[in-house]
C-alpha cells in the first residue's frame, strides 16, 4: 500500500470511528437540542488534513459540510434547505471578514511579516549572529551561542531557522558538532521561542483564535490577556528550553544523537549515507550589496517594543496607577492589571507594527544603503507571505462560527464533560493536538481546529467560568501542536531546519524525536498535572531541571569535547 493510500485509509477510519462513537454515546441528544453529527465538521477537517496534507482544503471541507448540516438534516428532501446552506455559509463568512477586530489581526500579521522581511534584507540579524560567533570557542560554547541566537531571532520561526541554521553551520562544522545536533538546536529554538514571545509573527495568529473563542463562550477576557494567562503554563516550550541548557551543559547525549555526536567528533559531521534536501527557498536573504549593521535590527525592534509596552500601559490606565504608586511601572502585577484593562490592545499592536515597519524601511535606506528596488521586493514578499495565514484564520474563524451554530461544544460537553476528571483534561488535549500536528505537519492548523472545540469542554469543566482548566487547556493545545510539529517529518519548520543546516531530513527527525518525547513526558508529568493540582510555576520548572539532569546522568553518555 502506498503512503498516500495509507493516509486516505487512516483518514477514513478517523471519520467512521468518531462518527460511530458520537452516534452511539449520545443517542438522546436531540432532547437537549444538540445532535451527534455536530462533531463532523472538525473531524472532517482533521481527516482531510491527514489524507491530503492541504490545510486550506481541509478547513474549507469542514466549513462547507458544517453549513450543510445546519439546515439540511431536518429537511433533506427540501430544495430550500440546501439553498439555505449557501446563505448560512455566506452569512458566517461575512461576519468574519467584516469584524473590526478580525481585520485588525489580519493587518497586524501583514505588518509583522513585512517588517521581518525588511530587517532580514538589511542584514541586521546577520550582523548580530556574526558578532556572537566570536564567542564560540568549542563544541559546548558553540551550542550555547546557537541557542542564544535562537532567542534573539524570536520574531519569527522561519527567520530563526534560516538565519541561525545557515549562519552557524560553518562554525558548527569546524567545532565537529554533528549536523543532527545543530538541526535539533535550531528546530528546538524556533517554534518554542516564537510561540511564547510577547511579540512575534505567531502572536497575532494566536490572539485571533483566542478572540473568537472568548466572544463565543463569553469569557469576559480579551485575547491578549488570554495569551498572557496561558503563557505560564506553556510547559512543553518552557521545558524544551530548559532541556536544551541542561543537555548542552552536561555534554551528555542518548539514542541516535549520541551516535551522531560520536561520529562527528571523529571527523564526520554528516553521516556517510546522508541525503541532503535541496529546496528552492523563497524566503528573504540578507542583501550582499548593503552595509551589514546591527542597528538595522535594533532600531525597528526597539520601536516595536517601546510603542507596544507604553501603548498598552497608557491604554490600560497605567498613567492613573503611576499617579497612585510611582513604582507601579516596575510591578508585574500592575502590568497584568493594565494589560487586562486595555480595550484596544490589537490596535496598539498595529500602531507598533506600523511604526516598526517604517523604521525598518528607513534603516534599510539610510543605514544599509540598499536600493529601493530591493526594498520594494522585500515588502512585496513580506506582504505576500501574509496571505496564507490570512486564509487559515478566515477559514478557522468561519468553522468556529459554524460549530457554534451546530452546538458542537455542548455536544462534546454532554459526552465527556461530566465524566472527565478536570486534572486529566489538559493532558488529553495535549496528546490529541500533538497527534493531529504529527499527522498534518502544521502547528497553526492544529491550533485553528482544536482551540475552539477543546475550549468549550474546558469551560464547562470550570463550571461555566474562565478558570484554571480553560487556561491550562489553551496552553496545552498550543504546546501539543508544537510538540507534534517537532515530531512530524512533513512539518514545514522541521523540513526547513534540515535544509538550513544541511542535515539529512530523516536523520534530523529520527534523532530529534526521542528528545522531544522526553520533554513532552516532562511537560505532562511535571507540568500540566501538577499545575492542575495547584503547584507553583517555580516548582514545576525546578522539577523539570532535576528530572532532565537525572535522566541524562543515568541514561545518557558524555561526548568528549
Asked whether the beta carbons of 533 and 218 are under 8 A apart, the reply is: no
Same domain, 49 and 127: no
267 CA to centre of own chain: 36
Q: Is residue 396 part of a domain?
A: no
Give the CA dihedral 66, 69, 70, 73, nearest 10 degrees. 180
Question: How far apart are the C-alpha atoms of 512 and 148, rounded to whole Å?
Answer: 19
Question: Please, which residues bridge with residue 253 across strands?
Answer: 557
Same domain, 2 and 127: no
Which are the contacts of 165, defined by CB distance < 8 A and separation ≥ 6? 182, 183, 186, 496, 497, 499, 500, 501
CA dist list (Å): 107 to 101, 195, 444? 10, 19, 18
Question: How far apart are the C-alpha atoms of 18 and 14, rounded to whole Å?
Answer: 6
Same domain, 193 and 228: yes
Which are the contacts of 7, defined by CB distance < 8 A and separation ≥ 6? 50, 51, 53
Q: Is residue 400 part of a domain?
A: no
End position of a domain, from candidates 98, 114, 143:
98
Q: Is residue 93 part of a domain?
A: yes
Question: How far apart are the C-alpha atoms of 496 and 340, rounded to whole Å?
Answer: 37
Q: Is residue 397 part of a domain?
A: no
* pLDDT tens, position by position, 412-425: 656 655 567 889 99
Q: Is residue 71 part of a domain?
A: yes
H-run or E-run covering 253? strand 252-253
Question: How far apart are the C-alpha atoms of 311 and 318, rounded to whole Å?
Answer: 10
The backbone region for 464, taken as left when phi is positive above 0, alpha when psi lies in -120 to 50, beta otherwise, is left
Count up the domains in the chain and report the number.
2
Asked whether the beta carbons of 432 and 455 are under 8 A apart, the reply is: no
* pLDDT tens, position by position, 353-391: 899 899 999 999 988 888 888 889 889 888 887 887 788
Q: Is residue 155 part of a domain?
A: yes
Counting DSSP H helices and E strands in the chain, the numbers are 28, 2
Give the CA dihedral 537, 543, 546, 552, nearest 10 degrees. -100
Taken in order 320, 326, 329, 334, is the CA torsion positive or negative?
negative
Provide the mean pLDDT of the chain.
80
Print burial letters for 36-73: b (CB count within 10 Å at least 16), e (below 16): bbbbbbbbbbbbbbbbbbebeebbbbbbbbbbbbbbee
- 3-state SS string over 137-199? CCHHHHHHHHHHHHHHCCCCHHHHHHHHHHHHHHHHHHCCCCHHHHHHHHHHCCHHHHHHCCC
Question: How far apart are the C-alpha atoms of 329 and 319, rounded to whole Å?
Answer: 9
Contacts of range 222-225, beta carbons closer than 8 Å, 24 or more positions apart: 222/340, 222/342, 222/343, 222/345, 223/345, 223/346, 224/339, 224/342, 224/345, 224/346, 224/349, 225/339, 225/340, 225/342, 225/345
End position of a domain, from candidates 98, 125, 147:
98
Same domain, 82 and 119: no
Same domain, 151 and 31: no
CB atoms within 10 A of CB 524: 18
Same domain, 313 and 372: yes
End-to-end CA distance of the chain: 46
Q: Which domain holds residue 123?
A: 99-208+222-269+282-387+407-561
Q: Is residue 213 part of a domain?
A: no
DSSP state of 29: G
Same domain, 486 and 376: yes
Taken in order 220, 223, 229, 230, is the CA torsion positive or negative?
positive
Q: Is residue 346 part of a domain?
A: yes
Question: How far apart are the C-alpha atoms of 526 and 548, rounded to whole Å?
Answer: 11
Give the helix ranges, DSSP H, for 255-406. 255-265, 295-315, 318-324, 332-341, 345-366, 372-384, 387-406
CB atoms within 10 A of CB 15: 18
3-state SS assignment for residue 425 = helix
Same domain, 61 and 133: no
Same domain, 105 and 9: no
Question: How far apart are the C-alpha atoms of 435 and 517, rounded to whole Å?
Answer: 12
Same domain, 160 and 11: no
Asked whether the beta carbons of 205 and 109 are under 8 A apart, the reply is: yes
Same domain, 114 and 86: no
Which residue, 407, 464, 492, is CA-closest to 22? Answer: 407
Q: In angstroms, what is the C-alpha Rg of the chain? A: 24
Same domain, 547 and 432: yes
End position of a domain, from candidates 40, 72, 98:
98
Residue pLDDT tens, the chain, 561 long = 565 666 666 666 666 665 665 555 554 444 456 677 777 887 787 777 667 767 678 788 888 888 888 876 665 556 666 667 778 888 888 888 888 878 887 888 788 778 878 888 888 877 877 777 777 788 888 999 899 888 887 766 776 787 778 777 778 888 889 999 999 999 999 889 988 887 676 777 788 888 888 887 888 888 888 888 899 999 999 999 999 999 999 999 999 999 999 999 888 888 888 777 654 445 555 565 557 788 888 898 888 878 877 887 888 777 777 777 777 777 766 766 676 566 676 788 789 889 989 999 999 998 888 888 888 988 988 888 788 778 877 887 787 778 777 776 667 656 655 567 889 999 988 988 888 777 666 787 778 878 887 888 888 888 888 889 999 999 999 999 999 888 877 677 787 788 778 888 888 888 999 999 999 999 999 999 999 999 998 999 999 999 999 999 999 999 876
Amino acid at each position: 500500500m502506498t503512503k498516500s493510500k495509507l493516509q486516505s485509509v487512516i483518514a477514513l477510519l478517523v471519520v467512521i470511528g468518531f462518527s460511530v462513537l458520537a452516534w452511539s454515546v449520545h443517542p438522546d441528544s436531540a432532547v437537549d437540542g444538540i445532535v451527534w453529527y455536530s462533531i463532523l465538521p472538525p473531524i472532517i477537517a482533521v481527516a482531510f488534513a491527514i489524507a491530503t496534507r492541504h490545510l486550506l482544503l481541509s478547513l474549507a471541507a469542514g466549513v462547507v459540510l458544517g453549513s450543510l448540516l445546519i439546515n439540511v438534516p431536518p429537511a433533506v428532501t427540501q430544495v430550500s434547505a440546501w439553498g439555505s446552506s449557501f446563505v448560512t455559509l455566506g452569512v458566517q463568512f461575512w461576519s468574519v471578514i467584516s469584524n473590526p477586530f478580525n481585520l485588525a489581526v489580519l493587518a497586524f500579521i501583514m505588518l509583522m511579516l513585512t517588517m521581518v522581511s525588511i530587517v532580514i534584507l538589511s542584514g541586521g540579524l546577520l550582523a548580530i549572529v556574526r558578532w556572537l560567533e566570536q564567542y564560540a570557542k568549542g563544541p559546548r560554547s558553540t551550542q550555547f551561542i546557537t541557542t542564544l541566537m535562537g532567542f534573539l531571532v524570536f520574531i519569527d520561526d522561519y527567520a530563526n531557522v534560516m538565519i541561525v541554521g545557515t549562519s552557524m553551520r560553518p562554525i558548527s562544522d569546524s567545532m565537529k558538532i554533528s549536523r543532527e545536533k545543530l538541526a535539533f538546536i535550531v528546530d528546538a529554538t524556533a517554534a518554542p521561542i516564537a510561540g511564547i514571545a510577547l511579540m512575534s509573527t505567531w502572536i497575532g495568529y494566536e490572539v485571533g483564535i483566542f478572540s473568537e473563542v472568548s466572544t463565543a463562550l463569553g469569557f469576559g477576557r480579551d485575547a491578549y490577556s488570554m495569551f498572557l494567562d496561558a503563557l505560564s503554563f506553556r510547559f512543553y516550550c518552557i521545558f524544551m528550553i530548559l532541556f536544551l541548557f541542561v543537555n548542552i551543559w552536561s555534554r551528555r547525549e542518548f539514542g541516535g544523537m549520541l551516535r551522531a555526536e560520536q561520529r562527528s567528533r571523529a571527523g564526520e559531521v554528516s553521516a556517510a549515507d546522508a541525503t541532503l534536501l535541496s529546496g528552492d527557498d523563497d524566503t528573504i536573504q540578507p542583501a550582499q550589496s548593503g552595509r551589514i549593521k546591527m542597528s538595522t535590527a535594533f532600531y525597528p525592534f526597539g520601536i516595536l517594543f517601546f510603542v507596544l509596552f507604553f501603548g498598552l500601559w497608557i491604554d490600560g490606565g497605567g498613567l492613573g496607577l503611576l499617579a497612585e504608586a510611582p513604582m507601579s511601572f516596575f510591578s508585574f502585577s500592575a502590568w497584568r492589571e493594565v494589560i487586562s484593562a486595555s480595550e484596544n490592545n490589537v490596535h496598539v499592536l498595529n500602531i507598533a507594527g506600523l511604526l516598526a515597519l517604517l523604521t525598518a524601511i528607513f534603516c534599510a535606506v539610510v543605514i544599509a544603503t540598499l536600493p529601493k528596488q530591493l526594498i520594494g521586493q522585500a515588502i512585496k514578499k513580506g506582504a505576500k507571505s501574509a496571505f496564507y495565514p490570512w486564509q487559515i484564520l478566515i477559514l478557522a474563524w468561519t468553522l468556529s462560527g459554524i460549530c457554534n451554530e451546530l452546538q458542537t461544544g455542548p455536544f462534546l460537553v454532554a459526552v465527556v464533560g461530566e465524566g472527565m476528571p478536570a486534572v486529566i483534561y489538559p493532558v488529553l488535549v495535549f496528546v490529541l493536538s500533538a497527534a493531529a500536528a504529527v499527522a498534518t505537519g502544521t502547528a497553526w492548523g492544529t491550533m485553528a481546529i482544536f482551540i475552539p472545540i477543546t475550549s468549550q469542554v474546558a469551560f464547562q469543566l470550570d463550571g461555566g467560568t474562565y478558570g484554571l482548566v480553560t487556561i491550562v487547556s489553551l496552553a496545552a493545545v498550543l504546546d501539543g501542536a508544537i510538540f507534534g510539529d517537532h515530531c512530524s517529518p512533513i512539518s514545514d519548520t522541521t523540513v526547513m531546519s534540515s535544509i538550513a543546516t544541511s542535515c539529512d531530513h530523516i536523520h534530523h527527525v529520527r534523532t530529534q524525536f526521542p528528545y522531544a518525547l522526553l520533554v513532552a513526558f516532562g511537560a505532562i508529568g511535571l507540568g500540566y498535572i501538577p499545575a492542575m493540582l495547584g503547584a507553583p510555576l517555580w516548582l514545576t520548572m525546578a522539577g523539570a531541571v532535576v528530572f532532565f539532569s537525572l535522566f541524562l546522568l543515568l541514561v545518557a553518555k558524555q561526548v568528549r569535547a
